[in-house]
Structure 1
């Protein structure tokens, strides 16, 4: 395979490696949330091929992240050659190396009750020692070394954001989902809003055939005592929650808004909350899960 050529469509490349249990998966997920195309456990010999394919995408894949670890250790010797090929062709690439102290790594493996991938019939510390020896040269070549011994997930995300977010605040995306309690709670909901305290338009004959997306039903719902006050109050609460989510590195929010059947009150409230979130700069979409059910 020839080294990838350079050009305006050649993608930026980040290689994530380091010690098992040090947070490679979290770092990779952070890049994904920042819009990078991330491939986990790619054999190092295929990295130039991946960059070449990205270049041929005509700018559709501008940034590629590749996770290289000891699960692919039979290919690991190829990494040096792949990096040399990339460097000779002028590809912009960076290596992120994640590490942690032996004590912290041992505790992490013990907490999930999983063996170290290199320990074989030995102890966890034996596997860690083998991995450190295997990765020593790569660590010395890394552009960014992050010691996660005392970092939690949010702090590691913050470090990745600082290095790769290009000075822009990572985007928070929200899904506002209306639903009917009689069909069950959405399993992926982060927050749940109950609109059953409002009178049900189902019992108004002229409104029953319509849904909460209609002006007639929405007008009825928000003319009820407490409806507008609830919308204003909960919107303010969401503002505080969103600020906290952004600080903690959370990228996705699912807000479930429920009423009995998921057709009238929850739909109207979900539509209004979607507008309020959009006004706060949140990339928001609305989904009406049960609106079409009888």
Structure 2
């Protein structure tokens, strides 16, 4: 389904006041930086069976939610961007209206670094929507400033700078494939500090206190996905205890997140290069979380770097 397919409803359902929003309607607002992957995320949601509407003025979303409820739609995704006139004034009013109806939409925010956005926009040969007569970077800066408050309020932030469209679709599927549940969905990202901290992480963990397999000649060409490296890292003093404490911490965080209505958590586990220690520790932590019944996805951001 998409915006080209009209919502069908009985005539009496066409009055938003006569069609109160159903409490089981789940709404996701897809927004973020131009060039960060909003279209890919929307397509992934559509493939998962969500009813997707692109570039909807925020002011009409409450009425659309009422119509969707009357039509029996239970999962609605709306793509919003700053091209809409008076975007932020409408956005504030939209959230107030939906809250009054007992519905609070989730926000999926797509992020990417400036250099990646520049490369993508130039490849697409399209100007930035806020560029005007200035440079492409000027438009990116304006958009980033305008969206700062929305980003801070997002339920899930996905940085697409270092992932492809298939990985983005996979992360969207991990977050939104199931129905609404009172359970945290976790994404674990291994990374190398030398390549920068993932900007979409809710929690950053440093495992550089463990001995580095890089200095063991026979282990250097391998990664933390190889059993020899994994055994070396997990067998080091402090590794098991650290994971035990991290597991306890996440259980506390998970309970708090659910109470606050946050269903997603991205935890970044880093070492120097993201190849050995962080990868091995991430895989083991994912195994533990899955054993607890927590839906957990793993992404090794820098394992392919030399």
TM-score category, normalised to shorter length: 0.5 to 0.7
Task: Say if 2:113 is the partner of 1:113.
Answer: no
Residue in 2 that maps onto 1:161? 173
CA distance in 2, matches of 1:3, 1:14: 23
Following superposition, the deviation at residue 7 of structure 1 comes to: 3.4
| 1:151 pairs with one of 140, 145, 163 | 163
| 1:17 pairs with one of 19, 31, 36 | 31
Q: Looking at CA atoms only, which structure, 1 or 2, has the larger radius of gyration?
A: 1
- Closer, same or farther: CA 53–150 of 1 in aligned 2, 3 Å: same
| 1:32 pairs with one of 46, 52, 56 | 46
Q: Deviations over 1:168-223 (max 9, x none)?
A: xxxxxxxxxxxxxxxxxxxxxxxxxxxxxxxxxxxxxxxxxxxxxxxxxxxxxxxx
| 1:127 pairs with one of 130, 133, 139 | 139
| 1:48 pairs with one of 55, 62, 83 | 62
TM-score by length of 2: 0.51
Following superposition, the deviation at residue 75 of structure 1 comes to: 3.6
Please say if residues 62 and 97 of structure 2, whose CA atoms lie closer than 8 Å, have aligned partners that are also in contact.
yes
Following superposition, the deviation at residue 111 of structure 1 comes to: 1.3
- Closer, same or farther: CA 121–7 of 1 in aligned 2, 3 Å: closer
Q: Deviations over 1:40-69 (max 9, x none)?
A: 000000110110001111x2x111100000
Q: Which runs of 5+ in 1 are unaligned?
A: 168-294
Q: Which runs of 5+ in 2 are unaligned?
A: 1-15, 180-306
Following superposition, the deviation at residue 151 of structure 1 comes to: 0.9
Residue in 1 that maps onto 2:297? none
Task: Say if 2:88 is the partner of 1:71.
Answer: no
| 1:93 pairs with one of 91, 96, 105 | 105
Classify the secondary structure of the residue corresponding to 2:77: strand
TM-score by length of 1: 0.53
CA distance in 1, matches of 2:126, 2:96: 35
- Closer, same or farther: CA 53–129 of 1 in aligned 2, 3 Å: same
Q: Deviations over 1:139-164 (max 9, x none)?
A: 11110001101010000001000000
CA distance in 2, matches of 1:72, 1:3: 28
Following superposition, the deviation at residue 76 of structure 1 comes to: 3.5
- Closer, same or farther: CA 35–130 of 1 in aligned 2, 3 Å: same
CA distance in 1, matches of 2:60, 2:163: 32
Residue in 2 that maps onto 1:7? 22
Query: What is the CA RMSD across the aligned residues, in angstroms?
Result: 1.9
Residue in 2 that maps onto 1:140? 152
Residue in 2 that maps onto 1:269? none
Please say if residues 96 and 143 of structure 1, whose CA atoms lie closer than 8 Å, have aligned partners that are also in contact.
yes
Please say if residues 106 and 125 of structure 1, whose CA atoms lie closer than 8 Å, have aligned partners that are also in contact.
yes
Q: Deviations over 1:104-125 (max 9, x none)?
A: 1111111122110110110000
